[in-house]
Structures are given as C-alpha cells and as structure tokens.
Amino acid sequence: MNSINFSKKLSASGSYDVIVCGGGVSGVSAAISCAERGKSTLLIEKSTILGGLATLGLINLFVPMCNGRGKQIIFGRCEKWVRESAKYGYDTIPDDWQKGEPEAPTDTRYLSWFSPYIFAEQMTEDVVNAGIDLKFDCNAVEPVMDGNVCYGVITFSKSGLEYYTCKMLIDATGDLDVMRRAGVPCKAGKNFATYMGKQITLDTCKEAVEKNNIYYAIKHVSGYSASLYGTNQPEGVPMWSGLTCDEVSDYIITNQLKMLDNIKTDGRLSREVTALPLMPQFRTSCRLIGDYTFTEKDVYRHFEDSVCAINDFDHRDYLYEVPLRTLCRNDYPNMITAGRSASAEGYGWDVIRVIPPAILTGQAAANAACLAIDSGCGVSSVDIKTLQKMLEEENVMIHFPDEYVLKEKYTGEVAEIEGGHF
C-alpha cells in the first residue's frame, strides 16, 4: 500500500483537497461527487462552458443506457442528468422510457438528445450549488511533481500563471494532459475525420413548426463525417492523434474548408449554420496505461474492483464492468483519470468513453480520491467494498445482474457484435 505525506506545502494561490482538471461531463460529475463528499474542490476548465465534447463539441446525445431488452444498466448521475436536461431543453426519451424502466421488455433503447447549451448552463448551476470553485477560461498547464506524487497544478488564465495545490488530482481533460505531462505512462489514439456542426434550414424550421417541437429545427452540418468505425473516412485525409498544436490546427482547417465546400452549393437564404464545434471532435486522443486495460473481451466479466456496470451503446445485450484499475496506477498514488482517457483499447475504448460511462467513471474517480484522502492511502489502494458502497449511495450499479447475460450469445472470446463492425 502506498502512503502519502500530505504535509509538503509550496506557496500557492489556493489549496484544495481535490483538483479536477477539465470540465467535460466526467470532470463535472467528478467535481460534484467530491464536493458532495465534503471535500474542497477546484474545477479548472479551459473553455467558457461546461460539458466538453457533449456541449462545446456538439455531441449532445446520451447514447443507450440499457441492455436493449428494457433493462436499464446506467444509472448514477447520468440518469439524473438525462431527466434534468429534459426539464428545460428538448429531449428524445422514447415513450417506453418516459417514466423510467418499462414494466414489459422492449427493444427500444433508452437514449436521448439534449440541448447542449441549456444543459451546459444547468451544469454550471449544479457546480455553483455544490460549492465548487470553478475557474473558466483557465488552462491546467503543468503538474507539480515530487517523484510520482503530485502536489498541484500550474494554470494559465487572464491572471497569468498560478499554482494550486491539492491532495488528489483528477485528470478529466479527455486528452490526459496533466497526467501525460507528469510522465504517467499513456498511449496516443488516432482519430478519423469527423466534424459536425449544427444548422437550421427553412425546411427544418417548417418541420419543427408542424411538430411543435424545436428539436426538429436543428440538423447536423458536416465537414468530413467518418463514423467511429472509419466508415466515410476520406482517402488521402490523415488520422490525427490530436496531441500537438499542429495536428489540432490541421484537423480544424481541413474540416472547416470541407464544410465550407459542402455548404457553398446550398441556397444561402434557406439555411444558417448556427454552431460549429468549439473543441476538436476527437474520440480517442490519449489514454492512461492503467493497472488494467479494458477491452471488448471483458464482455460479461465480473470484476471484484468494479466501479460501475455499463452497456455497449451500439449493440444490445453486451454488458461490462469497469475496474478501478482502468482509472489509475499503483505507482502514481494521488492522480486518477476519468472519462475518455480511461485505460482501454480497441472497441473497448469506444464502449467506455461515451457520455454515460464517462459520467460514471467521473463519480468513481471522485469517490476513490475522497476515500484515499480519508484513508491516507494511494487511490488504487482504497478499500474496494467501501468505495462500491459509496458509489451505490450515488445510485451507480456496480455489478450487472447475471440474468441479463445471454449465454447463448456469449463465446468467451471477442464479442460477436451485431452488425459486424469489425
């Protein structure tokens, strides 16, 4: 077991129990859990709205949170946010799921589109109400390390360079910016060419009026539009990891020019582009090499150190558990990640990175960090039963029920995915 001496102090602009770097869905979820556990919490976000890819990046869809047979798998803060986002913005929660899990089995999957900007403001409200110190337009630049122990982070904002100390740091930057710069082992991903903005047209406006629902007014407008499986990846266009300024700029320039080409053919008075993604739509830029690496082969596997049960969003029936070890490493005792930089490979990375699991791994990282502080141990050494109990108190399902496993489909090998995507 690693024990940490928290007494070392450097001159700083502020000191916190937990610093969460990155205010995407995983970071906001993590920060709220920390604050609700009574920990002083700083949330650092480099843009000017919360939600990351889900809002700023215009990826405003809670993908399926059920097993595809009418059983809900993903609860926790995700369930809460799906319902809350539907209070003030549009939603597409299917009729079967309007009142929660349906009584009879259904093939209809539990998913919902949401208003990205209204939901972002709701998250700001949640963060403020939780008593979290929130720094917008503030970049977490560099961790301050002593060996493998993190003492805090240097930030850059309108105030210039500042230093904040913490007992635990949660890297929810999506790109593992802080842990990567701390020298934590990590692996870069590759990203297909996807760039989706939003537009309205006279036709979509008409449809919205006819249906009396503003959701129908807003449609995608794309630069390149490759899927997560690489369908539509154009020949001659590179894949980007997204970890250098040049790559990010090349991705944005390539796609903005493509989108402009696409819309040049449309009638200029019949449509308007209402939003461009204000962060790169990279699915897998960089992930931790954790004490465990999650893959699609983990389908139907129970883990003793599971921190949440999740489902495959694209293929019904496939269920997984996420071990704590995918979020941290034993040799870095007070740093942990959440969201799309969790330790996962191949299609497993796709399963774990999407919005619903990202919200749950945020809760998991936060509770592990809080428990580690209270126990005076490293984050990977917390008492797992206590952690699981804390997560259950937050309505997270830890182990999927065995009766949901379709044994006739289970080969024990790589999941036989419906649709045969790979």
Ligand X SMILES: Cc1cc2nc3c(=O)[nH]c(=O)nc-3n(C[C@H](O)[C@H](O)[C@H](O)COP(=O)(O)OP(=O)(O)OC[C@H]3O[C@@H](n4cnc5c(N)ncnc54)[C@H](O)[C@@H]3O)c2cc1C
- By the criterion CB under 6 A, which residues form the site for ligand X? 21-27, 44-47, 52-54, 56, 59, 61-63, 139-140, 172-175, 177, 194, 279, 281-283, 339-340, 353-355, 358
Strand partners, 160: 157
| Shortest separation between residue 213's beta carbon and ligand X, angstroms | 20
Instruction: Pick between residue 102 and residue 339 the one whose CB is nearest to ligand X.
Output: 339
Q: What angle do CA 357, 53, 351 make, to 5 degrees?
A: 30
d(CA 65, CA 357) in angstroms, rounded, equals: 9
Strands 306-311 and 319-323: antiparallel
Residue closer to ligand X by CB (options 338, 398) is 338
State which residue, 271 or 340, has the beta carbon closest to ligand X. 340
> Residue 324 carries which DSSP code?
G
CA distance 52 to 59: 9
- Smallest distance, ligand X to C-beta of residue 369, A: 16
The nearer residue to ligand X, 4 or 109, going by C-beta atoms, is: 109
Q: Where are the beta strands (DSSP E) in 75-218?
A: 112-113, 133-135, 139-146, 149-157, 160-171, 186-188, 194-201
Query: Whose CA is closest to 50, among 81, 27, 72?
Result: 27
Q: How many other β-carbons are positioned within 10 Å of the β-carbon of residue 15?
A: 16
Six token digits for residue 232: 């539509």
Q: Give whichever of 24 and 323 is closer to ligand X, judged by the CB atom.
A: 24
Instruction: Phi first, then psi: give them for residue 41, nearest 5 degrees.
Output: -135, 135
Task: Supply the minimum distance, in Å, between the C-beta of residue 198 and ligand X.
Answer: 13
Q: Give me the least distance between CB of 347 and ligand X, in Å please.
A: 14
CB 90 within 8 A of CB 118: no
| Residues 294, 323 contacting (CB under 8 angstroms) | yes
What is the smallest separation between the CB atom of 377 and ligand X, expressed in angstroms? 25
Q: State the nearest-atom distance from the C-beta of 267 to ligand X, in Å.
A: 27
**Using CA atoms, how far apart are residues 147 and 59, in angstroms rounded to an integer?**
38
Closest distance between ligand X and the C-beta of residue 293, in Å? 17
Looking at the Cβ atoms of 26 and 199, the one nearer to ligand X is 26
What is the DSSP pairing of strand 286-288 with strand 186-188? antiparallel
Least distance from C-beta 388 to ligand X, angstroms?
A: 22
Nearer residue to ligand X within complex by CB, 136 or 410: 136
Which of 174/197 has CB closer to ligand X?
174
Helices and strands: H and E segment counts in the chain: 9, 16
Please, which residue, 194 or 381, has the CB nearer to ligand X? 194
Per the DSSP assignment, residues forming a β-bridge with 194 are 225
Cα 39 to its chain centre, rounded Å, is 22
CB of 368: closest distance to ligand X in angstroms?
16
